[in-house]
Amino acid sequence: MQEVNQNQVVEKMRRILTGRLNQLCREQHISLKELSQRSGVSLSTVRNISQGKYCNVGIAVVIKLSRVFGVTPSQFVDENLLQAEDKF
């Protein structure tokens, strides 16, 4: 059985959240400020996620952001939905 490094999991999740948030904002023409207002997530948190500076995102935040984009939380964090150019 392969040992999972917690830091690697956290880093991978950070990259996925950052990539998907930026991808969905671009596709749906939603600014970070608008996303913040519509989701109820603070602008500083949305910016930090967008810039890859925030890795401790709780499920409540993922749910709020997902609702704005019209996707499920599972779709929001699905790395297979990331476009190739959004991968780090």
Taking only the tens place, the pLDDT of each residue in 16-61 is 899 999 999 999 999 999 999 999 999 999 999 999 987 678 899 9
Count of the separate structural domains present in the chain: 1
In a domain, 74, yes or no: yes
User: At 77, is the secondary structure helix, strand, or coil?
Assistant: coil
In a domain, 13, yes or no: yes
Domain that holds residue 16: 6-86
Instruction: Answer yes or no: are the C-beta atoms of 35 and 68 closer than 8 Å.
Output: yes
Phi first, then psi, for residue 61 (nearest 5°) are -65, -45
Asked if residue 87 has pLDDT above 70, the reply is: no
In a domain, 1, yes or no: no
List the CATH number of the domain containing 21. 1.10.260.40
Q: Rounded to two decimals, what is the model's pTM?
A: 0.82
In a domain, 79, yes or no: yes
